[in-house]
Amino acid sequence: MSKSKWQVDSTHSSIDFTIKHMMIAKVKGTFNTFTAEIEADLADLTSASIRFTVDASSIDTRNTDRDNHLRSADFFEVEKYPEISFKSTHIKKTGDGEYDVTGDVTLHNVTRAETFSIVFEGAGKDPWGNEKVGFSGQGKIKRSDYGLTYNAVLETGGVLISDDIKLAIEIEASKQQ
């Protein structure tokens, strides 16, 4: 087989995150707007090429004040750095349908290599005959690695916001003709 281009179906896909708040609870959010370019041979996913571009201003934690703070210079500084990007550099098969995908993440004008665990969920045809594929992924990045260091020390010890951000990705994509 040869590589095919796949277009992400944003209505059936998501990029979500979780961060610990006050050392006792988790806050979840999502990025509502993103695009992806995927070129892959389903017979050999280790040769795939993956690029994601996320609109940082599309952050949504279901709280307008918090979202506006996250868009500010304390965090994403979206007017200066409107996009978060990922470009794969290496894919290693780790099990049946399981892969470690390493790539360059660019956030807040800092680029670092990060690795995400990805599961190939399968392929099939929708009722209209379109070929579809599904992937799930998870990973973790440290926000301080990207210069996102805003925080506050708590009276009871610890900090207001954890350094670790957990990411969860669900992708459904259609084969391009």
Distance of CA 34 to the CA centre of its chain: 9
Confidence of residue 74 (pLDDT cuts 50, 70, 90): confident
Confidence of residue 160 (pLDDT cuts 50, 70, 90): low
CA distance 30 to 60: 5
Question: Which amino acid, residue 23?
Answer: M
Confidence of residue 43 (pLDDT cuts 50, 70, 90): confident
Percent of the chain with pLDDT over 70: 92
The pLDDT value given to residue 177: 78
- Which residues make Cβ contacts (< 8 Å) with residue 118, sequence separation at least 6? 98, 99, 100, 101, 135, 136, 137, 169
